Amino acid sequence: MGLIKQRLQDQIEIVGEFKHIQIRYSDQIIEDGQVISSSYHRDTVSCGDDAKAIEHNVKALADIYWTDEIKEAYQASLENPIV
């Protein structure tokens, strides 16, 4: 049997004050049904980035955690950063 390469979305976390969504992907090489190698990659979806949330299949979580209040606070933090 040959080698198979697959990417799995294996962990999703909600992090920080503005509820950013962090996704961990596991890239795996499989031979004869056994994982012989794996590595990890993370991506973050910032509050309010609906297009990226859809792309990473986490839009339902975004709808739950990104309330209007949190989106407004995040936008305000971008406009008035603390130096």
What is the span of the domain harbouring residue 67? 3-79
H-run or E-run covering 45: strand 34-45
Give the model's pLDDT for residue 1.
66
One-letter amino acid at 79 equals: E
Question: What phi, psi does 49 have (nearest 5°)?
Answer: -90, 75
Helix (H) or strand (E) holding 64: helix 59-65
pLDDT value, residue 2: 86
Per-residue model confidence (pLDDT) at position 83: 67
Q: Residues in the chain with pLDDT < 70?
A: 1, 83
How many independent structural domains does the chain possess? 1
